[in-house]
Amino acid sequence: MPPPDDHRHDRGHSHDHDHDHGQAPPSDMALRVKALESLLAEKGLVDPAALDAIIDTYEHKVGPRNGARVVARAWTDPAFRQRLLADATAAIIELGCDGGLEGRFLVALENTPEVHNLVVCTLCSCYPWAVLGLPPVWYKSPPYRSRAVIDPRGVLAEFGLRIPDEVEVRVWDSTAEVRYMVVPERPAGTEGWTEEALAALVTRDSMIGVGRGLAPEAAA
């Protein structure tokens, strides 16, 4: 365990997203969790170094860049696209994405000019960690979980996506261990682009279904 006054994680975070956080006193939850972790370490149930390694993995190693590589490969390699749509669990392993936790049964859903797919978990927060990392707060929030199934077009409009009436909206409520990812449509004007350049156009939101692939000029 680090000593009680060790705030190295807090400082690290403050550089990224919250410049006041480093000066703030530890929150009630910070103290409660620290005490809990100390108790479990004393009992030999957890190894603090192993916990830090887990945190590092989820902060820095898994994330939507994995899914973006999968989508970019599907856009450039028709045979891979076929394999991905038939058995995404096996296809992502080809790209070194470990199915592992929250990705043992993965299904890829392709957006087309006729069909727009949207993924939600109304009962909790199921999400394809293997390709997208941990879900954003809004995905786990009551507003999204409650509304995505009854008013998907309204939710999409709030994300700036107007789905024409003639396009079918398919919502996927992740009620089992099967995880869903969306393969967005390839942006126009990207003919001849490399897989790596295309991957930069694939956003997390586009793989949940609340966004589209970025326009080519956004990659500049």
Partner 1 sequence: MNGAHDMGGMHGLGPVVPEADEPVFHECWEGHVLALTLAGFSWGRWTVDKWRHQHEKIPGTDYLRMTYYEKWATSLVELMVGAGLVTREEVGPAWPAVGTQGTAPWISAREVATEPGFRIGDKVRTRNINPTGHTRLPRYARGREGVVTRLHGAHVLPDATAHGLGDRRQPLYQVRFEAAELWGPDASRRDAVHLDLWEDYLDHA
Mask of contacts with partner 1, 34-63, x by CB under 8 A? xxxx-xx--x-xx---xxx-xx--xx---x
Token look-up 């897989």 returns 195
Token reading at 144: 């999204």
Nearer to partner 1, 93 or 171 (CB): 171
Q: Is 97 a catalytic residue?
A: no
Residue 217 interacts with partner 1 (CB under 8 A): yes or no: no
* Helix or strand (DSSP H, E) at 81: helix 78-86
Q: Which residues, 81 to 140, sit near partner 1 by CB under 8 A? A: 101, 105, 107, 120, 122-125, 133-134, 136-138, 140
Tokens, residue 78: 């028709």
- Most distant pair of Cα atoms in the chain: their distance: 61
Whether residue 141 lies in the annotated active site: no
Interface map 144-183 toward partner 1 (x if CB under 8 A)? xxxxxxx-xx-x--xx-----xxxxxxxxxxxxxx-----
Q: Which is nearer to partner 1, 62 or 97 (CB)?
A: 62
CB of 180 to partner 1, least distance (A): 9
Any catalytic annotation for residue 121?
yes
Catalytic member of 126, 146, 174, 206? 126
1, 32, 86, 218: which one contacts partner 1 (CB under 8 A)?
Answer: 32
Cα–Cα distance between 82 and 212 in angstroms, integer? 21
Could you tell me which of 72, 113, 106 has the C-alpha nearest to residue 90? 106
Say which residue the tokens 């809004």 belong to: 138
Distance (Å, whole) CA 15 – CA 172: 37
